[in-house]
Amino acid sequence: MGYVCQWGRRKSSYTPLISASVMDVSLDKSMEKVQLPKGDNWSVHKFGGTCVGTSERIKNVAEIIVKDDSERKLVVVSAMSKMTDMMYDLIYKAQSRDDSYISAVDAVLEKHRLTALDLLDGDDLASFLSRLHHDINEIKEMLRAIYIAGHASELFSDIIVGHGELWSAQMLSSVVRKKGIDCKWMDTRDVLIVNPTSANQVDPDFVESEMRLEKWFFQNPSKTIVATGFIASTPQNIPTTLKRDGSDFSAAIMGALFRARQVTIWTDVDGVYSADPRKVTEAVILNQLSYQEAWEMSYFGANVLHPRTIIPVMQYGIPIVIRNIFNLSAPGTMICRPSVDENEGNQRLESPVKGFATIDNVALINVEGTGMAGVPGTASAIFSAVKDVGANVIMISQASSEHSVCFAVPEKEVEAVAEALQSRFRQALDAGRLSQVAVVPNCSILATVGQRMASTPGVSASLFSALAKANINIRAIAQGCSEYNITVVVKREDCIRALKAVHSRFYLSRTTIAMGIIGPGLIGGTLLDQLRDQAAVLKEDFNIDLRVMGITGSRTMLLSDSGIDLSRWRELIKEKGEVGDMHKFVNHVHGNHFIPNTALVDCTADSNVASHYHEWLRKGIHVITPNKKANSGPLDQYLKLRALQRQSYTHYFYEATVGAGLPIISTLRGLLETGDKILRIEGIFSGTLSYIFNNFKGTRRFSEVVMEAKQAGYTEPDPRDDLSGTDVARKVIILARESGLKLELADTPVQSLVPEPLRATASADEFMQQLPQYDIDLAKQLQDAEDAGEVLRYVGVVDVVNKKGLVELRRYKNDHPFAQLSGSDNIIAFTTARYKNQPLIVRGPGAGAQVTAGGIFSDVLRLASYLGAPS
């Protein structure tokens, strides 16, 4: 203990050169009446290690101090970033008798020397460097002693590690002074007096500290003070620290001593997030937290704030603001008493849960036995045994049967605790009154925090159902009567998944949809581009959050865990695409447990893809498609699909199968659901055939018009695919089935416009070459029609009354709506019981990538509104 006498007591021998901060600690009677100008005119700032990590950053901090227009400022500063770790490492090396501690000390010296050279000049620089060298020499001597003893006392450790703060405070105050501001630096060991407690914590002595502060201020009156964070003294003037991350606590104590207007804690994030942003990318900044909420968040592992920071400021109602030094435009998080508004006003709409935090490396201990029930003193005996080994109990849970008591302790303490309990309860265990003291290692704690959880029913139900959905087993649960916090213990390997699952349950909008796009061709690609352009507006204005988690073609697929960047989806498929695998694709899009809804969008024309719809719907995946294959395929499969859709809350939308973006299916549904009776649906359903017959008039030849349509890109590569009428027939079947008819495609007579002899012709080109030979037949039909004041139109008809569908070339009077058509428009006429004399007509462009993708997109939004999106 010889060293304790030499360095431990705060005598001027320890810091002869830091004379500004050294004082005689016995109270001078003449100063008793000195009044510190406390109150609102003080603002307290705390700059964390990252804020003062380099000389540039220290200059930036000085700038912020100068710009604060408060009348009086007290600035608490941490050691340069990573410095405290480096100092602890010196001690660890020395006590492990690792010689490299010497070079490690030199690295500490060098870092500060270079920073000072950058920041200071003249006398300031000379005096700082001389103090630095002196301190480093002392540290070396202490480390040498530790090296010899092979052990570091807490006192030595505290003295050594506290130097980081001493140096950063001195440098910062000199830089502020250089800017022309009168600024003093404070060695807080002269002012802050704390009593060590057993659990690696210290309790501030506010009365003593206040007296010392008054005295310090009398000797160093200044409107700007830069004080060391982290360090303090015991009542016996022995240097100590506020323990790891304690500078936040220092700032709060200072705030309370000065009765400051506000304590601003500057760090490297925009404020307190709803969860650790390193673990949950979706975490959001919380604008306001109550003291209680902030305390719970920090206690349960949100290391943005030291948990003990709250108490000193809370008693005076001093707000704490957490701000990002690297993003001054962010307003930060305000921690204060909840305003009346918060409970009454707009916050009512918000989630009752504010945030989530986790503690890793904990173990559960379960003390179990029938002999515990009704026996007073068991819990006290358990916890006094735990206290005796100095372990910290993080949470406790006891079921009311009193059959078992379960609690969590840091993993590193569990062995000692278990041993203490075994020996304390030896007799009870032997006698069978206790059955076991069991240890569950490798656990994590997940805490859910929010003051408004109190008296809001259903919060824990949502929480547990989110965990259940993510298939996470809960080992223990605790909820205090304050209801500000629900704590669960899970296996460590489940912790991040658990955190993400509960976070998304409370923070993602109910209308967040994980989407998988199948077939990124012309239509799928256009849809992706439309989603890209509209996503931000939907999220902002309608709270609809669409995330494309996967895109798959027939050969390649692109998967993402959080949503594909749609501004680059084409490049990303090339860069990061993997071999397409439908099973893996679906599992990926649906398999994440964080997004509440999944929708697969089939933009192919593939019957194989369509054959999966039933299985997807059964899994709870919503399906949206312009692909006609499922609804016009075998009747029994169609009926199965529709039956499933009706039974479940899973949706199947296919507006774009008929008339692209035109509201045809939805119009028909609307009529049926409101009790109208459909008599007949008749329409021009093919954009290609619409174009051809709108232009086939007078002396024009049919083959010439088909060629023109082909060249304008209106037809399929092989125009026979359009002229055969099959595509129109599929649409007729879809509408017929939607109207309640049980028809098969094969039951629908289709008049093909491909002349019989040309149906087997090998290539499209050959077909086009030979088509003119057959012009004569259609020319005659046209002539007859025109002579009668009529036009030719290729139509699909659903004759509901006679339960029939058909596709054929028909003649219409020149004043019929179908005769007025131009371009490639579709037109559909619904004749119903209500619309009997004048049919209800829907008309407009019914083909093309933009309108088809638009139709699919509007189905996606229909889905979102079914899921509860605001209108």
Binding at 84: pick from Mg ion, ligand ASP, ligand ADP, none (beta carbon under 5-8 Å per type): ligand ASP
- Give the three-state DSSP class for 94: helix
- Give the three-state DSSP class for 793: strand
Residues in the chain: 871
Distance CA 852, CA 846 (A): 8
**Number of residues counted as binding ligand ASP (CB under 6 A):** 13
Distance CA 396, CA 406 (A): 6
Q: Which of 98, 205, 268, 790 binds ligand ADP (CB under 6 A)?
A: 268
Taking contact as CB under 6 A, which single stretch among the options 46-54, 62-70, 621-629, 743-751 is the one that binds ligand ADP? 46-54
- 8 Å CB contact between 242 and 309: no
* Alpha-helical segments (H) within 320-377: 340-344
Q: Is 731 assigned a catalytic role? A: yes
DSSP class of residue 454? T
Opening angle at CA 141, ends 243 and 154, nearest 5: 25
Binding at 278: pick from Mg ion, ligand ASP, ligand ADP, none (beta carbon under 5-8 Å per type): ligand ADP
Comparison of 252 and 517: residue with beta carbon closer to ligand ADP = 252
- Give the three-state DSSP class for 261: coil
Q: Is 78 in the site for ligand ASP (CB under 6 A)?
A: yes
Neighbours of 633 (CB within 10 A): 18
Q: Which of 124, 135, 208, 245 binds ligand ASP (CB under 6 A)?
A: 245
Binding at 79: pick from Mg ion, ligand ASP, ligand ADP, none (beta carbon under 5-8 Å per type): ligand ASP
Taking the complex as a whole, the smallest distance from the CB of residue 104 to ligand ASP amounts, in Å, to 17
Q: Is 111 in the site for ligand ASP (CB under 6 A)?
A: no
Q: Tokens standing for 730? A: 């599929």
Taking the complex as a whole, the smallest distance from the CB of residue 78 to ligand ASP amounts, in Å, to 3
Q: Tokens standing for 135? A: 């301190």
Q: Is 646 in the site for ligand ADP (CB under 6 A)?
A: no
Convert residues 39-68 into a mask of x (bound to ligand ASP by CB under 6 A) and - (unbound).
---------xx-------------------
Taking the complex as a whole, the smallest distance from the CB of residue 84 to Mg ion amounts, in Å, to 10
Distance CA 341, CA 343 (A): 5
Q: Is 302 in the site for ligand ADP (CB under 6 A)?
A: yes
- Give the three-state DSSP class for 374: coil
Binding at 385: pick from Mg ion, ligand ADP, ligand ASP, none (beta carbon under 5-8 Å per type): none
Binding at 783: pick from ligand ASP, ligand ADP, Mg ion, none (beta carbon under 5-8 Å per type): none
CA dihedral 304, 310, 314, 319 (to 10 degrees): -20
Comparison of 116 and 302: residue with beta carbon closer to ligand ADP = 302
The catalytic position among 731, 780, 803, 813 is: 731
Q: Is 733 in the site for ligand ADP (CB under 6 A)?
A: no
Comparison of 56 and 571: residue with beta carbon closer to ligand ADP = 56
Taking contact as CB under 6 A, which single stretch among the options 172-180, 243-251, 254-262, 751-759 is the one that binds ligand ASP? 243-251
Residue type, 758: L
Taking the complex as a whole, the smallest distance from the CB of residue 41 to Mg ion amounts, in Å, to 27
Binding at 200: pick from ligand ADP, Mg ion, ligand ASP, none (beta carbon under 5-8 Å per type): none
Comparison of 177 and 306: residue with beta carbon closer to ligand ADP = 306
Q: What share of residues in the chain are helix, strand, coil (percent, to 5)?
A: 45, 20, 35
Sorted by sequence, the CB contacts under 8 Å of residue 843 that are 6+ apart come out as 662, 817, 821, 825, 826, 827, 828
Q: Which of 165, 245, 293, 296 binds ligand ADP (CB under 6 A)?
A: 245
Distance CA 764, CA 230 (A): 83
Q: Which of 75, 76, 227, 304 binds ligand ADP (CB under 6 A)?
A: 304
- Give the three-state DSSP class for 835: coil
- 8 Å CB contact between 213 and 38: no
Comparison of 266 and 569: residue with beta carbon closer to Mg ion = 266
Opening angle at CA 840, ends 835 and 844, nearest 5: 175
Q: Is 296 in the site for ligand ASP (CB under 6 A)?
A: no
Q: Which of 8, 49, 450, 661 binds ligand ADP (CB under 6 A)?
A: 49
Q: Is 548 in the site for ligand ADP (CB under 6 A)?
A: no
Distance CA 576, CA 452 (A): 44
Distance CA 488, CA 300 (A): 11
Q: Is 245 in the site for Mg ion (CB under 5 A)?
A: yes
Comparison of 359 and 589: residue with beta carbon closer to ligand ASP = 359
Q: Which of 246, 307, 352, 520 binds ligand ASP (CB under 6 A)?
A: 246
In the region spanning residues 277 to 296, those forming contacts with ligand ADP, defined by CB under 6 A, are 277-278
Residue with tokens 């200044």: 222
Q: What is the largest CA-CA distance in the chain?
A: 124
**Number of residues counted as binding ligand ADP (CB under 6 A):** 18
Helix (H) and strand (E) counts in the chain: 32, 30
- Side-chain half-sphere exposure of 27, counting CA atoms within 13 A: 13
Q: Is 688 in the site for ligand ASP (CB under 6 A)?
A: no
According to DSSP, the residues that pair with 445 across neighbouring strands are 359, 489
CA 493 to chain centre: 19
Comparison of 131 and 354: residue with beta carbon closer to ligand ADP = 354
- 8 Å CB contact between 636 and 612: no
Of the candidates 195, 246, 237, which has an alpha carbon nearest to the alpha carbon of residue 84?
246
Comparison of 251 and 807: residue with beta carbon closer to Mg ion = 251
Taking contact as CB under 6 A, which single stretch among the options 242-250, 452-460, 468-476, 518-526 is the one that binds ligand ASP? 242-250
Q: Is 719 in the site for ligand ASP (CB under 6 A)?
A: no
Comparison of 275 and 523: residue with beta carbon closer to ligand ADP = 275
Neighbours of 393 (CB within 10 A): 17
Binding residues for ligand ASP (CB under 6 A): 48-49, 78-79, 84, 164, 229-230, 244-248
Binding residues for Mg ion (CB under 5 A): 48, 245
Q: Which residues are catalytic?
A: 731
Binding residues for ligand ADP (CB under 6 A): 48-50, 78, 245, 267-269, 272-273, 275-278, 302-304, 355
